[in-house]
Each structure stands twice: as structure tokens, then as C-alpha cells.
């Protein structure tokens, strides 16, 4: 019995020692923190002030967005009926009969909207480079964009930024593309199929205008692509009609020409070719970002953690040296 009790005491002693060590470690931590409380207060205050100054100096960013629905492709009904019967011949003519294996037109339109070519043409067409690359703030009273005078002089329409080769004072198309990718978002809801296009800018009026321009331009671009493809297909089919005398093949070709004509007519009578506007873009009254209160809170937390870490490092380094 005595041996068993001794063994139990020997087993319990390490556990008690570990608990005691933990208590001592916690006491040391609290002691170190208490001794360095003024350092913690000073550093945390410094971070708090810096975060407040940073938050105040950040310009208000407004977001304008529009909700869109994919337009019904009414011309696909007739083409779908011909798909299984004349798909092989149509493919030779470059005619898409909508057999289900192609890319969804809505998804294709979104990819075109994000492409370099479309973005470059959009920037040049609407001359938005200054508002994109040099806008610094927005004057609510005069509803004017304030530009960074170190980059761009609005009165002279002149770029004066300092840039090293291969860059020039005026931003290139590639620079503008990288910038616009950060302020434009276009997403599709997989459950509803609805598309949201949003723009962020220091001016709420500019943001709304850009959203409207994007919708108009992507509809026009997709319409132009389909009309061009239909015209090419019609030309090819017409040439085949002139070369063949077989009645059955001529009947098929006539039907294909008819469907391409419908495609062209459908495109010309609809402005909302790919996207229909469900909820148009508006001028936002409240800013989208920055979240100044959150920036200040994060600054204080970061300062507190950083200062505590410094105090603990100083304390244990001094303990080791002693």
C-alpha cells in the first residue's frame, strides 16, 4: 500500500510542477506587460493617431451598379429546329445553329466586357483616361472631379506625371486596363442568371455614367459581332445556292439564309441585344468605402498587439541577459 501511495505521489508531482510553472509564466507575462504599460499606451496611441489620419485622408469612393437580365434570344427558336437536321452543312458555312455545345452568349458577353480590346476601345471612345487615372476627389457643391495636379492638368488637358521608360507621362492602354479592372465588376448570379455590373469612383455621377456606357457598348458590340457573322454566313450560303442545282440542297440553303436574315433583323430592332436592364444604375448618395471606423479600430488593435510583442521581447531578452 505504501509503495502504491508513493508511486501515485511521484506521478502527481510532475503535474503539480507543470501547473505551478504555468502560473509562474502567466505571472511573468502580466508582470512584463504591467511594467511596459506606458510603452504599450504610447505605441497604441501612435497607431491610433496614424490610422485616424490615414482614414481621414482617404477619398470617398461611390459605387453605382445595375441589375441586368439576359435578353431572350428569340431567333434561336428557328435555328434550334434546324440544328439536328442541317448542323453539318451549317457548320461549313460558319453558321451557329445553337445545338447546345457552344458558349453561352451571356457568359461570352461578360468575357468580352472584361477583355483588353473592349476595355481599350471603351476608354478611348468615351475619353475617360483622366477620370480613371488622375481623379483624386469629388467636389459635391460644384459636381466636379478634382484631379491630382502632379499627374494631370485639367485646364490644359495635359499629362505631367513623372514616369520612367517604358512608361510615358500619359498612361498607356495597358496601365489603364490594369486600373479599370480594379474599379469595374461584372458578375452573374448562378442561381437566378441575373448579371450585376458595378463601377467604383470618387464621383457618384461618373460611376453611374460609366455603368450606363458599359451596358450600351457591350450590347452594341455583341450585336455587331452577330450581324457581321450572319452577313458572312449569308454570303457563303448565297454562293453555294448559285453553284448547286440539287433541289433538296437548295431548300436547305434557303432555310439557312432565312434564319441568318432573321438574325440580322432581330439584331437591328433591339438595342438591348444581350442584356435587358432590370434595375438601372443610379447616383449613389452614400459612399461605398472607405470604412473609416473599421480602419481606426484595426489600427488600434494592430498597435496594441505590436506594442505588447515589443514589451514581451524586451522583458525576456533582459531576463536572459540577467
Q: Is the pLDDT assigned to residue 286 strictly greater than 50?
A: yes
Burial class (CB in 10 A: 0-12, 13-18, 19+), 120: middle
From 66, 206, 186, select the one nearest 133 (Cα to Cα): 206
Beta strand ranges found along the chain (DSSP E): 62-70, 135-139, 144-147, 152-153, 158-159, 184-188, 195-201, 275-279
Q: At which residue does the C-alpha cell 496611441 appear? A: 45
Q: Both 77 and 50 in a single domain? A: no
From 13, 48, 52, 89, select the one nearest 256 (Cα to Cα): 89
Q: Both 51 and 91 in a single domain? A: no
Asked if residue 156 belongs to a domain, the reply is no
Adjacent-strand bridge partners of 186: 197
Band (26; pLDDT cuts 50, 70, 90) = confident
Q: Both 210 and 70 in a single domain? A: yes
Could you give the 3-state DSSP secondary structure of residue 94? coil
From 45, 27, 62, 15, select the one nearest 286 (Cα to Cα): 62
Measured distance CA(167)–CA(175) in Å, rounded: 9
- Find the domain containing 33 and state its range: 2-58+291-321
Share of the chain above pLDDT 90, in %: 44
Asked if residue 176 belongs to a domain, the reply is no
Residue that wins the pLDDT comparison between 263 and 216 = 216
Q: Is the pLDDT assigned to residue 23 strictly greater than 70?
A: no
Q: Both 215 and 298 in a single domain? A: no
Q: Both 262 and 228 in a single domain? A: yes
Asked if residue 68 belongs to a domain, the reply is yes
- According to the model, what pLDDT value does residue 313 have? 84
Q: Both 265 and 296 in a single domain? A: no
Asked if residue 151 belongs to a domain, the reply is no
Q: Both 245 and 214 in a single domain? A: yes
Residue that wins the pLDDT comparison between 253 and 182 = 182
Q: What is the mean pLDDT of the chain?
A: 82
Q: Is the pLDDT assigned to residue 131 strictly greater than 90?
A: yes
User: What are the distances in angstroms from CA 231 to CA 49, 89, 97, 258?
Assistant: 65, 17, 15, 12
Question: What is the reported pTM?
Answer: 0.75
Q: Which grid coordinates are listed for 189?
A: 448570379
Asked if residue 285 belongs to a domain, the reply is no
Average pLDDT rounded to a whole number, residues 64-71: 93
Q: Both 93 and 229 in a single domain? A: yes
Q: Both 13 and 107 in a single domain? A: no
Q: Both 243 and 115 in a single domain? A: yes
Greatest pairwise CA separation for the chain in angstroms: 116
Asked if residue 209 belongs to a domain, the reply is yes
Asked if residue 148 belongs to a domain, the reply is no
From 225, 265, 266, 255, select the one nearest 89 (Cα to Cα): 255
Provide the number of structural domains found in the chain.
2
Handedness of CA 144, 148, 153, 158 (dihedral sign): negative
- Ramachandran angles phi, psi of 289, nearest 5°: -160, 165
- According to the model, what pLDDT value does residue 10 have? 52
Q: Is the pLDDT assigned to residue 61 strictly greater than 60?
A: yes
Q: Which grid coordinates are listed for 15?
A: 503535474
Residue 197, domain CATH: 3.30.1890
Q: Is the pLDDT assigned to residue 3 strictly greater than 90?
A: no
Average pLDDT rounded to a whole number, residues 49-77: 84
- According to the model, what pLDDT value does residue 260 have? 82
Q: Both 118 and 78 in a single domain? A: yes
Q: Is the pLDDT assigned to residue 208 strictly greater than 80?
A: yes
Q: Which grid coordinates are listed for 76?
A: 434561336
- According to the model, what pLDDT value does residue 193 have? 87
Band (79; pLDDT cuts 50, 70, 90) = very low
Q: Is the pLDDT assigned to residue 46 strictly greater than 90?
A: yes
User: What are the distances in angstroms from CA 224 to CA 137, 220, 221, 270, 278?
Assistant: 37, 6, 5, 12, 23
Measured distance CA(113)–CA(187) in Å, rounded: 11
Q: Is the pLDDT assigned to residue 143 strictly greater than 70?
A: yes
- According to the model, what pLDDT value does residue 275 have? 92
Q: Both 197 and 91 in a single domain? A: yes
Lowest pLDDT segment from 30-39, 41-50, 59-68, 241-250: 241-250
- According to the model, what pLDDT value does residue 72 have? 67
Band (314; pLDDT cuts 50, 70, 90) = confident
Amino acid at each position: 500500500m505504501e509503495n502504491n501511495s508513493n508511486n501515485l505521489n511521484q506521478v502527481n508531482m510532475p503535474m503539480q510542477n507543470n501547473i505551478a510553472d504555468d502560473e509562474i509564466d502567466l505571472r511573468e507575462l502580466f508582470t512584463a506587460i504591467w511594467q511596459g504599460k506606458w510603452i504599450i499606451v504610447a505605441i497604441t496611441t501612435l497607431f491610433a493617431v496614424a490610422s485616424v489620419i490615414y482614414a481621414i485622408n482617404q477619398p470617398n469612393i461611390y459605387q453605382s451598379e445595375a441589375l441586368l437580365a439576359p435578353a431572350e434570344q428569340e431567333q434561336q427558336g428557328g435555328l434550334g429546329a434546324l440544328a439536328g437536321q442541317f448542323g453539318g452543312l451549317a457548320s461549313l458555312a460558319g453558321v451557329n445553329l445553337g445545338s447546345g455545345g457552344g458558349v453561352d452568349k451571356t457568359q461570352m458577353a461578360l468575357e468580352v466586357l472584361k477583355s483588353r480590346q473592349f476595355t481599350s476601345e471603351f476608354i478611348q471612345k468615351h475619353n475617360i483616361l483622366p477620370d480613371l487615372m488622375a481623379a483624386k476627389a469629388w467636389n459635391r457643391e460644384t459636381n466636379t472631379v478634382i484631379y491630382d495636379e502632379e499627374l494631370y492638368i485639367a485646364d490644359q488637358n495635359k499629362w505631367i506625371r513623372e514616369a520612367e521608360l517604358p512608361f510615358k507621362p500619359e498612361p498607356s492602354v495597358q496601365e489603364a486596363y490594369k486600373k479599370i479592372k480594379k474599379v469595374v465588376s461584372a458578375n452573374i448570379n448562378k442561381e437566378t442568371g441575373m448579371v450585376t455590373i458595378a463601377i467604383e469612383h470618387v464621383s457618384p455621377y461618373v460611376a453611374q455614367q460609366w455603368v450606363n456606357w458599359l451596358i450600351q457598348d457591350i450590347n452594341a458590340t455583341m450585336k455587331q459581332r452577330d450581324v457581321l457573322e450572319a452577313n458572312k454566313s449569308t454570303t457563303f450560303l448565297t454562293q453555294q445556292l448559285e453553284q448547286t442545282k440539287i433541289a433538296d440542297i437548295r431548300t436547305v440553303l434557303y432555310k439557312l439564309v432565312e434564319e441568318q436574315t432573321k438574325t440580322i433583323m432581330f439584331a437591328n430592332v433591339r438595342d438591348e441585344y444581350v442584356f435587358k436592364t432590370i434595375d438601372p444604375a443610379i447616383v449613389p448618395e452614400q459612399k461605398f468605402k472607405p470604412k473609416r471606423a473599421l480602419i481606426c479600430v484595426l489600427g488600434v488593435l494592430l498597435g496594441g498587439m505590436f506594442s505588447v510583442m515589443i514589451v514581451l521581447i524586451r522583458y525576456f531578452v533582459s531576463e536572459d541577459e540577467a
